[in-house]
Amino acid sequence: MKSAFAACLALALAQPAAGGAWPEKPGRGFASASATYRQSDGKGAHELGYYGAYGLAPKLTLGVDLNQNADVSGHALLFARLPLWHAGRNRLAAEAGIGGNHFQGSWQVMQKTALSFGRSFRTRNGSGWLAIDAAYELRNGGEDGIWKLDATLGLRRPGKFAPMLQIETSRPESGELSYAVTPSLRYALSPRQELVLGLEHRRAQQRSLGLKLSLWQRF
């Protein structure tokens, strides 16, 4: 059970850098597919992830979050996001999700609730955004609770490489704090498609370094 929970902790730090407080417009959507290769204690491992969100109504965004850590563990989550407050460049939204997480193919129920704050801004080098997400997850059929606090800071620089920094933290109710820091560069392949390359330093039970490649698509 301890090893299963450690795998869940690693997955708790593997969330996409999108969505948050910003709803998708009705009839429009966003998708992100990612692959990460990491090294820890001389051993290699890979993760695959997919995130999709679609604007069903002006105040309702539906989505899916999928993740697979090699052939060991993973999760599949359906979620709904509702805007709560919008003033100028500031936003606040709530999210609720339900699905399942597994360890070596044994699936159990997973639930998630989250509160997200977002703020857009402008600098001399372009516009950008700040997102802060606080979440509580119940995994393994409700036996394991995990608190999360994540932050993303990014710039938009059309036609140029754009920097982004993610800081993700996770703490079980009866465990130690784990975290991941991922500086990335984004490059627009087209007006609706971006390539993201990041270097992730993670501490979850043990330290590891990972190379993450993502493709973002708006539709």
The whole-number pLDDT of residue 16 equals: 52
Looking at the domain that runs over 2-218, which CATH code has it been given? 2.40.160.40
Distance between first and last Cα of the chain? 41
Cα separation, 172 vs 144, whole angstroms: 7
The whole-number pLDDT of residue 39 equals: 85
Domain edges within the chain? 2-218
The whole-number pLDDT of residue 13 equals: 54
Token pair, residue 41, equals: 């204690």
Distances (CA, A) of 192 to 31, 167, 202: 11, 25, 30
The whole-number pLDDT of residue 205 equals: 80
Cβ contacts of 53 within 8 Å, gap of 6 or more: 18, 19, 24, 29, 30, 31, 61, 62, 63, 81
**Do residues 170 and 146 lie in contact, with contact meaning Cβ atoms separated by under 8 Å?**
yes
The whole-number pLDDT of residue 135 equals: 97
pLDDT in tens, the chain (219 residues): 444 444 444 444 555 555 689 999 999 999 999 999 988 777 888 999 999 999 999 999 999 999 999 888 999 999 999 999 999 999 999 999 999 999 888 999 999 999 999 999 999 888 999 999 999 999 988 888 999 999 999 999 988 999 999 999 999 998 899 999 999 999 999 999 999 999 999 998 889 999 999 999 999
**Do residues 107 and 124 lie in contact, with contact meaning Cβ atoms separated by under 8 Å?**
no
The whole-number pLDDT of residue 10 equals: 47
Task: Of 118, 134, 123, 204, give the one whose Cα is nearest residue 163.
Answer: 123
